[in-house]
Structure 1
């Protein structure tokens, strides 16, 4: 009986000192990037590169910029914002102050936005703009409008030049 009590206390201690999001989500996430048309080069500020469609492992806590290039299409970039997710509120509600600190520090309670990244590229020689699509293919916003909405926040981590605040 004494061993069972010790095991229960040890398990509760481990749970209390680790963050729930760290346990459930981890600090990385599979991040999918797609373009219309397929086959664009995607270059991330993390140094990762792929041809679309592709899925890369990304840090949840890291803002990014991805530059997209395809022959016959205007080059564009999308700012990827690391946002606080709902897991942190679970820590607070369940009294896991230590867990909230752990999750906040390692970024496991964050999510990347937009995710997945689906971009309809704009053809060169047209007045069209690149747009973000949802998983059903519906236009969510222009890439420019999205970048404008997150630019100041993302600039804090990737710098004003990469965020498009400076030439």
Structure 2
């Protein structure tokens, strides 16, 4: 009976990270300038700034676009989270081998990075206006001295 009671009491502790962190994560996406159309490789879309809910195991690419700007994109990866590792370790201490398996399978021990996602959109480069034609330089000339012709003296 004690063994059954111990099992019933420890069962809720199995999958600690799944319970404390959940199997989804919220990713905030901002762009400079704000108001860009945001899409992910997982078919999510929104207008920045926005927050998307994704599975903890999901890795994807975020792309932002806006008229007059070049598209910007960045991959969002997963890694073992500090608090996820603590929950996973809690499974080991309590003896929750099942919980360890659940946490690993659901990705509850993972976190996304970068988080938040911040994308900077570069303006399209404006083609330089045609340079004004260089003024043609005229060769400097010195005026020719006027020839002086003395007037003929009156005859007389």
- TM-score where L is the length of structure 1: 0.65
CA distance in 1, matches of 2:4, 2:40: 48
CA distance in 2, matches of 1:75, 1:56: 19
SS of alignment partner, residue 69 of structure 2? coil
SS of alignment partner, residue 38 of structure 2? strand
Bigger proportion of residues as helix: 1
CA deviations on 1:10-65 (whole Å, 9 max, x unpaired) are 131232xx311100011011111000110011111111100000011111101011
CA distance in 1, matches of 2:87, 2:12: 17
SS of alignment partner, residue 85 of structure 2? helix
Query: Structure 2: 5+ residue runs without aligned partners?
Result: 127-156
Given the alignment, which residue of 2, 21, 35 partners 1:39?
A: 35
SS of alignment partner, residue 47 of structure 1? coil
1:10 aligns with 2:8: yes
The RMSD of aligned alpha carbons is 2.3
1:88 aligns with 2:88: no
Higher RCO (Cα < 8 Å, 6 or more apart): 2
Per the TM alignment, residue 67 of structure 1 is displaced from its structure 2 partner at its CA by: 1.2
- TM-score where L is the length of structure 2: 0.69
Query: Structure 1: 5+ residue runs without aligned partners?
Result: 127-167
CA distance in 1, matches of 2:99, 2:105: 10
The answer (yes or no) to whether the contact 1:88–1:100 under 8 Å persists in 2 is no
Aligned residues: 122
2:57 aligned residue: 61
1:75 aligned residue: 71
User: Which structure is larger by alpha-carbon Rg, 1 or 2?
Assistant: 2
| Change in 2 beyond 3 A, CA 1:88/1:102 | farther
